[in-house]
Chains A and B, each alone.
Chain A
């Protein structure tokens, strides 16, 4: 519908059908402004929400990576135990781990020659939390049919909850 605006000689506008067209324009403008405001606000809110999610993700990732880098674990001592478990005497390896960093470390897993140890002697267990500047000794018990062999080097691998891997080698006497 097209409105026609007519003016008389005095310059006054006569409203009839043409007056209704004028009101429609204002409303339309208001509507458009409202729409823009609503859509803009929604877009801003959506963007902020997304950014917040990204921010949290970035923060978490950076924090994990920073903590992992800051982890400092030392395999301090390894003792091949002859009498720590019976009847298979030579199947326990005592691994002493020391946290030399400033963050607590959770040790999740220990492997001997690539085999994950699931049995432990001397009341030790994994996972184990090691506070900064403290040590923890894990008595890794090899499988019943496995024994450490004199002069034969064994590879000890320790994995933390943050995914850091520490490896060393030691040979029984």
Chain B
């Protein structure tokens, strides 16, 4: 019995060892397989991470001697090997080729220059191209050359200012925003067509050359601004319109239209006078008299004593203006340079239309600040005619025969709310007046 038990134990042990060895071998093999698979997953994951870490930016694109010259900055944390350049001529049908750049390695943080110089392709400035750089990890970056052929662009054309006086310049501005994900290069505006005119038929808008003539590079999200100086002339209400159906050279194949309109305004004297200064004079209502009636114009008589009527406006928004008797209308004799015939005409209350004229002394001859110009654009007629050293007098004077005079108005007074209120005095010179005596 002992012998049989021993043999059974040995046999059982043998089988147990076989079973155990097989199991351990199988488990080891499985672990090895899983380890290999795990390594593959890790490797793939690392590759995907590297692809994600690979970043580069196209810094500039130029075309020296008709050949591509691309500068690329490695902005990522891994070195980059460029394996291919795709060039597609979008102006012709289906012309597309790929090339291997010889200068192709960009170290981390480095700048790679002269990419594309070895490629046997000459860039035709009249054509547009799509260029794509491909890295060894499969990343790509595309940009357009000479055009925005397939890129979403926002283009606006406008005048600054849109309303301009005849004979003056305005600025025609084209604003181009790159809303695509790829850079654009060599962005050049199309030539301006002749404008269309409306109105009197005399309008003319002459545009200068564009400035700057082109943008070498327009990164995604960036904006290019092109300007033309446009000299405008014509009659009031005239307009001129520039219309571009293809704003950029080699641009969109579909119609992109931008229209701007300029309105030409003819200025009159009142445009200058009404809106300048606190106290202003309306030149169109400048009048003079020798006694018979009030007349307008710059040709004045010299036969009899003369007086002037001027319309003065107070543009102060809060305070009335009380005019001082120190105010006078000064005419300087331009025909005699020694100043002998220079003539001041002091303010008076009134002018009686008789021949010769008689004057009412300002403030009755004793007080001051009696003539009020209401605030907020109030306008009054102010008479000037008194001469002599005593302000507030009633003496009159003639102009010299056939002399030319230029002059100005000196207004003194105070901005207050009553004649007697005291405050800081105010003085203003209102140019320019010129008359010729007959």
Q: Hey, which bits of chain A sit against chain B, CB under 8 A?
A: 29, 33, 36-37, 40, 43-44, 47-48, 51, 54-55, 58-59, 62, 65-66, 69-70, 72, 74, 76-77, 79, 81-84, 94, 96, 98, 100, 135, 150, 171, 173
Contact = CB atoms under 8 A, between A and B. Distances in A.
B134 A76 contact: yes
Given A37-B11, A77-B98, A100-B137, A173 B150 contact: yes
B15 A44 contact: yes
A15 to B, nearest CB: 20
Interface string B300-319: 00000000000000000000
Interface of B: 4, 7-8, 11, 14-15, 18-19, 22, 26, 29-30, 33-34, 36-37, 40-41, 43-44, 47, 84, 86, 88, 90, 93-94, 96, 98, 132, 134, 136-138, 140, 149-150, 253
B121 to A, nearest CB: 16
B33 A96 contact: no
Contacts of B93: 82-83
Contacts of B37: 62, 65-66, 69
Nearest to B150: A173
Contacts of A51: 22, 26
Given A37-B11, A66-B37, A82-B94, 10 more contacts: A33-B11, A36-B11, A44-B22, A55-B26, A65-B40, A66-B40, A72-B138, A76-B140, A173-B90, A173-B149
Nearest to A67: B40
Contacts of A171: 150
A94 B253 CA distance: 22
Contacts of A83: 93-94
Q: Tell me whether chain B's interface is mostly helix, strand or loop, or mixed.
A: helix
B33 A59 contact: yes
Contact of B36 (A62, A79, A94, A98): A62
B132 A77 contact: yes
Contacts of B41: 69
Q: 5 nearest interchain CB pairs? A: A74-B138, A173-B150, A66-B40, A62-B33, A100-B138
A66 B33 CA distance: 10
A173 B84 CA distance: 22
Contacts of A70: 40, 43-44
Given A54-B26, A65-B37, A79 B88 contact: yes
A135 B140 CA distance: 15
A62 B94 contact: no
Contacts of A74: 138
